[in-house]
DNA sequence: AAATTCGTCAACCGCTCTTCA
DNA sequence: GTGAAGAGCGGTTGACGAATT
């Protein structure tokens, strides 16, 4: 049965240049409003939804047209490895690109490359397994030199190799310390991690270097992943520390866990240090076991992060947590009750490097004592415009570089 | 040269979330 | 508190040009 009433027929399909003109003129004149009104008032026989889509994905003036740059490709792969198919969130971090564009690019281009890469790898591993079954050393394949290849390789857990891990270059650390580094490219939800553990050597400082600029607000992923690889230019950091006066021998023990976030608001890598792990409480023991476990690459998940739980601070432990922005230095943190003041010095080290040096000051050792222990208190820090407010196990972070909200410690 | 396959991308569809009365 | 409308998101479709057979 056919209706005799003339229904308002809405156009579908491709937009004509005339329709585009009408929409552009209307939007330039009136700005964005109710989309169903836009359709009517602009004289378009389209539904509001169609108008919105056309404007957002194609007509708005701030769109960047053309092919994706290599850097954009890397960024998309990086973000997708963390966010999955959350195209709008990925697009939000690529100025001038739309979610639709990125989605199409992913489905038509990157996905294919990944598949191809995976096929190659499967072939390689099949053939190598049949020929060498007992070789337990790290893969000896040379470091990849193509950025996209590196990103793709890192995206696929099965393809991760030593040279594809983030590592902190030139990271001297006390021989009594163990250092554990891991990248975070397997993050799906919160801060679970894919780990790479390392034992490092003296001296007793942890220097975190970056060939790019710490203070650069834009996200630039590292292009080279050699043994002295760069790390992302991170501008935000969650920093946790546990300090314990070990009983009997009056020896200080320090365990520190850092989670770093790049300027796109995503965790990019983490590092942990333990001092005098031999005397460790469970916290240090966990760290040590990972540091000594050659197979710890992918098994830790969120466990290290849990060290910062109040419950892990036993006895007279002091426990303090704060956020820093490495692009701003020096950094001083004060808890919101003004009972303690903890200073960390970040200085530039080396020509062409904007490095961050983390060390615990004498004052801090002397003053942290027990007063920062206990749960339920919030901490608030400020650092040249950056604030981090801790409440209900959530950090609200606001910085001049980016506005990150609700980062979680698990 | 025609037919077929492939790749790209704009647009649609259906669903969820948000806002507001 | 509730429902309707609008907005936004991700998956999918289909048109169209290029490449291949």
State the CATH number of the domain containing residue A29: 1.10.10
Average of per-residue pLDDT across A14-33: 82
Dihedral sign computed on CA atoms, order A65, A69, A72, A74: positive
Residue A25 inside a domain? The answer is: yes
Flag whether A32 is in a domain.
yes
* Number of domains chain A is built from: 2
Q: Which nucleotides of B are covered by protein (CB under 7 A)?
A: 7-14
Q: Which of the 2-61 residues on chain A come under 7 Å of nucleic strand C at their beta carbon?
A: 13-14, 33-36, 48-49, 52
Shortest CA to C1' contact from A49: nucleotide: C7
Integer distance in angstroms from CA A285 to C1' B1? Answer: 75
* Domain closes at, from A75, A95, A118: A118
CA of A48 to C1' of C6 (A): 9
Is the same domain home to A82 and A110? yes
The answer to whether residues A71 and A107 belong to one domain is yes
* Protein-contacted positions of strand C (CB under 7 Å): 5-12, 15-16
Distance A190 CA to C18 C1' (A): 43
- Residue A348 domain flag: no
Decide if pLDDT at A249 tops 50. Answer: no
Nearest residue to B9 (CA, C1')? Answer: A104
Residue A397 lies in a domain: no
pLDDT-based confidence at residue A39 (cuts at 50, 70, 90): confident
Angstrom distance, A55 CA to C4 C1': 25
Q: What is the CATH number of the domain that holds A101?
A: 1.10.10.60
- Of A118, A135, A150, the residue that ends a domain is A118
In a domain, A327, yes or no: no
Distance A83 CA to C9 C1' (A): 14
Residue A354 resides in a domain: no
pTM above 0.85? Answer: no
Spanning CA of A49 to C1' of C3, the rounded length in angstroms is 21
* Interatomic CA–C1' length for residue A107 and nucleotide C18, angstroms: 19
Expressed in percent and rounded to 5, the helix, strand and coil fractions of chain A are: 30, 20, 45
Residues with CB under 7 A from strand B: A 11-15, 46, 49-50, 53-54, 57-58, 100-101, 103-105, 107-109, 112
Q: Is the pLDDT confidence value at A194 over 60?
A: no
Quote the domain boundaries for residue A24.
Answer: 17-59
In a domain, A237, yes or no: no
Q: Are A88 and A50 contained in the same domain?
A: no
Residues A111 and A87 in one domain: yes
pLDDT digit string (tens) for A102-141? 888 888 887 777 666 655 555 544 444 333 332 222 222 2
Is residue A52 assigned to a domain?
yes
How would you write A299-352 as a 3-class SS string?
CCCCHHHHHHCHHHCCCCCEEEEEEECCCCCCEEEECCCCCCEEEECCCCCCCC
Residue range A362-392, pLDDT digits in tens:
333 333 322 222 222 222 222 223 333 333 3
pLDDT in tens, A316-328: 222 222 222 222 2
Q: What is the mean pLDDT of chain A?
A: 42
pLDDT in tens, A78-97: 677 666 777 887 777 677 88
Q: Residues A72, A110: one domain?
A: yes
Of A375, A377, A403, A372, residue with least CA distance to A390: A377
Contact A45, A59 (CB under 8 A): no
Minimum CA–C1' distance nucleotide for A13: B11
């Amino acid at each position: 049965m056919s209706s005799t009433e003339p229904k308002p027929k809405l156009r579908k399909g491709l937009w004509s240049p005339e329709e585009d003109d009408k929409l552009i003129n209307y939007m330039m004149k009136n700005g964005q409003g109710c989309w169903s009104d836009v359709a009517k008032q602009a004289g378009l026989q389209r539904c509001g939804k169609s108008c919105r889509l056309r404007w957002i994905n194609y007509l708005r003036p701030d769109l960047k047209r053309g092919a994706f740059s290599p850097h954009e490709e890397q960024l998309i792969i990086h973000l997708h490895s963390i966010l999955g198919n959350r195209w709008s969130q990925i697009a939000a971090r690529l100025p001038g690109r739309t979610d639709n564009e990125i989605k199409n690019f992913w489905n038509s281009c990157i996905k294919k490359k990944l598949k191809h890469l995976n096929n190659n790898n499967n072939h390689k591993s099949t053939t190598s397994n049949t020929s060498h079954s007992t070789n337990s050393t790290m893969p000896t394949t040379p470091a990849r030199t193509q950025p996209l290849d590196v990103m793709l390789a890192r995206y696929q857990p099965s393809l991760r190799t030593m040279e594809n891990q983030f590592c902190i270059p030139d990271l001297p650390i006390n021989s009594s310390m163990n250092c554990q580094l891991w990248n975070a490219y397997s993050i799906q939800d919160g801060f679970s991690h894919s780990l790479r553990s390392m034992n490092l050597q003296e001296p007793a400082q942890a220097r975190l270097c970056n060939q790019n600029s710490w203070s650069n607000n834009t996200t630039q992923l590292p292009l080279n992943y050699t043994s002295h690889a760069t790390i992302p230019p991170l501008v935000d950091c969650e920093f946790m520390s546990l300090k314990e006066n070990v009983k009997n021998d009056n020896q200080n023990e320090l365990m520190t866990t850092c989670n770093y976030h790049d300027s796109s608001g995503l965790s990019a890598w983490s590092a942990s240090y333990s001092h005098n792990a031999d005397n460790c409480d469970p916290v240090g023991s966990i760290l040590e076991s990972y540091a000594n476990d050659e197979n710890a690459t992918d098994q830790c998940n969120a466990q290290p992060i849990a060290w910062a739980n109040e419950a892990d601070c036993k006895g007279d432990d002091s426990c303090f947590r704060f956020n820093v922005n490495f692009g701003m230095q020096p950094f001083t943190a004060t808890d919101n009750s003004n009972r303690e003041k903890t200073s960390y010095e970040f200085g530039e080290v080396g020509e062409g490097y904007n490095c961050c040096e983390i060390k615990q000051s004498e004052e801090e050792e002397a003053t942290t004592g027990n007063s920062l222990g206990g749960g339920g208190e919030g901490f608030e820090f400020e650092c040249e415009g950056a604030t981090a407010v801790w409440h209900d196990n959530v950090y609200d972070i606001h910085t001049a570089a980016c506005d990150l909200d609700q980062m979680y410690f698990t």
